[in-house]
Structure 1
């Protein structure tokens, strides 16, 4: 499959960090394969390209929310978990039945209640919107 999302994710580095993207920002294909083998999970294409573009960049991997490293990915409640908020109140994932979809819909679980709700957007939409919000918040904090 051609690179569908890789350049879009790479473009976030100059957009928000005012720096050029370089290979050190992402995981290598080997590092990603090793992590997924350890976790024993398959991931959607979009998440693979996210890790290849930004998987080593803490400014994105730990921006208010924490993206799981590939070896930390797990299936729970029929969802592949990939993101958690810093207070561990919510976790985000994909329906396990949708992992073959290149850019699946994202769902959020309230950890206290255990219920899952749709974010009504695909991973690429959700992630790009989330980073826009995060970096707007950071810019506002720096101005105060």
Structure 2
């Protein structure tokens, strides 16, 4: 299957880190497979390509929110957990019954209540929007 998301994720390195994407910014396919085997989970295509593109880039993997390493991925409450905030108030996941969808919807759990809410976007949409929010500066207000 052709790469659907890989180049888009690789393009985040020059966009936000002002450097060219390097192979070490991603995880090698064999290491990713080994870590997923350790975790005992299957992941959607989009998440696989995300790790291949950015799994070794700490500046993005730990930018405000923390993406789980592939060997830390787990299914909880019927969701594959992949991201948490720094205060551990929220965790983000993909419904376990949607892991065969190439780019599934993302949900957020409020840990204190254990309630899940849709983020109203797919993994690729959510991640691209999240990095834009984290890295892009607000434009100064123009005076009339």
After TM superposition, give the deviation of residue 136 of structure 1 in Å.
2.1
Q: Which has the higher helix share?
A: 1
* Correspondence 1:61 to 2:61: yes
- Paired residue total: 140
- Where do 1:69-88 residues align within 5 Å? 69-88=69-88
TM-score by length of 2: 0.94
CA-to-aligned-CA distance 1:21-53 (integer Å, 9 cap, x gap) = 010000000110010000000000000000000
TM-score by length of 1: 0.94
SS state of the match for residue 36, structure 2? helix
Gap change, CA 1:139 and 1:9, over 3 Å in 2: farther
Q: Quote the residue 1:108 is aligned against.
A: 108
Structure 1 stretches of 4+ moved >4 Å: 137-140
Q: Quote the residue 1:92 is aligned against.
A: 92
Q: Quote the residue 1:120 is aligned against.
A: 120
Query: For residues 44 and 138 of structure 1, what CA distance do their matches in structure 2 show?
Result: 33
Q: Which has the larger radius of gyration?
A: 2
Query: For residues 13 and 117 of structure 2, what CA distance do their matches in structure 1 show?
Result: 30
Measured on the aligned residues, the alpha-carbon RMSD in Å equals 1.5
CA-to-aligned-CA distance 1:108-134 (integer Å, 9 cap, x gap) = 000001000000000000000000001
SS state of the match for residue 101, structure 1? coil
SS state of the match for residue 124, structure 1? helix
User: Structure 2, unaligned stretches of length 5 or more?
Assistant: none
Query: For residues 110 and 73 of structure 2, what CA distance do their matches in structure 1 show?
Result: 18
Gap change, CA 1:68 and 1:138, over 3 Å in 2: farther
User: Structure 1, unaligned stretches of length 5 or more?
Assistant: none
